[in-house]
Structures are given as structure tokens and as C-alpha cells.
Amino acid sequence: MRYTLAMHDATRDHGAQPLDELMNRWELANHQLVEASAEQLNHKQIQRARKGRQLTLHLMQKLTGTLNDALAARLPKEERANFLPYSHKHLFNYAKGHDGTRSDPNEALMPK
């Protein structure tokens, strides 16, 4: 069987990710994540992550760390202790160990 470009593309595009929904629910834009990044993330990386282009584990972890930092910084100090950091397996449906039925423990902290 010959390996074709079309086969390659079909397996690397996973559609909209939980990261995209989470950023929408937290009212967080790509630019805000870029600004909060100590990891030097760029807009293109974040957009690719949200749309479901398959990323390396390292980039998934960088995005996850930046997202957690940005969300914690937006919360009032008294609510930060209640924030449970997200893991990359919560943000990407193709990550090993992803559970699509998991409820978000930070829902009460999200903007209304």
C-alpha cells in the first residue's frame, strides 16, 4: 500500500478541540494567550491547536501551561486556590487518556 498525502492529512486533522470550547467559555482570545506565554507561543500555533491540527506532545504541554497561567491570572486572588489546572489530555481529544465525558471542575469560576 502506498502512503499518500491525502491519507496523511486525514489522520492529522482532528477537528475542533476541547481547547477551543474552553477558550470560548473563559472568554479568552488567541492574542491574550500569546501575551501570557512565557513559552513564546505564537498566534499560528494556537490557531492550529484550536482547529485540531495534530501537535507534538511538547507543544500540547506548552499550550496547556500557558492556558493555566492565563486563566489563573484572570481570577481574583481568593478564587485562585479553587482553580484546578487543566492537563493536555483535557484539551485535546487525540491525546492519550482523553475522557470526553469529564465535567469541568472549574465551571463555577468561569465568567457568567
Q: What is the pLDDT of residues 39-89, one digit of tens each?
A: 899 999 999 999 999 999 999 999 999 999 999 999 999 999 999 999 999
What's the whole-model pTM score?
0.87
Closest CA to 60 of 14, 106, 7: 14
Per-residue pLDDT, 53: 95
Is 9 inside a domain boundary? Answer: yes
Is 19 inside a domain boundary? Answer: yes
- Here the cell at position 109 is 469560576
Question: What proportion of the chain, given as a percentage, has pLDDT over 90?
Answer: 88
Is 80 inside a domain boundary? Answer: yes
Per-residue pLDDT, 11: 73
Is 22 inside a domain boundary? Answer: yes
Is 68 inside a domain boundary? Answer: yes
- Say what angle helices 43-51 and 18-25 make with each other, to 10 degrees: 110
Is 72 inside a domain boundary? Answer: yes
- Say what angle helices 43-51 and 57-74 make with each other, to 10 degrees: 100
Q: What is the pLDDT of residues 24-37, one digit of tens each?
A: 999 999 999 999 99
Q: If you search the block for the grid coordinates 478541540, which residue do you land on?
A: 17
Per-residue pLDDT, 12: 85
Q: What is the pLDDT of residues 89-100, one digit of tens each?
A: 999 999 999 999
- Here the cell at position 34 is 500569546
Spatial separation of the C-alpha atoms in residues 32 and 48, rounded to whole Å: 16
Spatial separation of the C-alpha atoms in residues 78 and 46, rounded to whole Å: 29
Domain containing 85: what range? 5-93
**Domains identified in the chain, total number:** 1
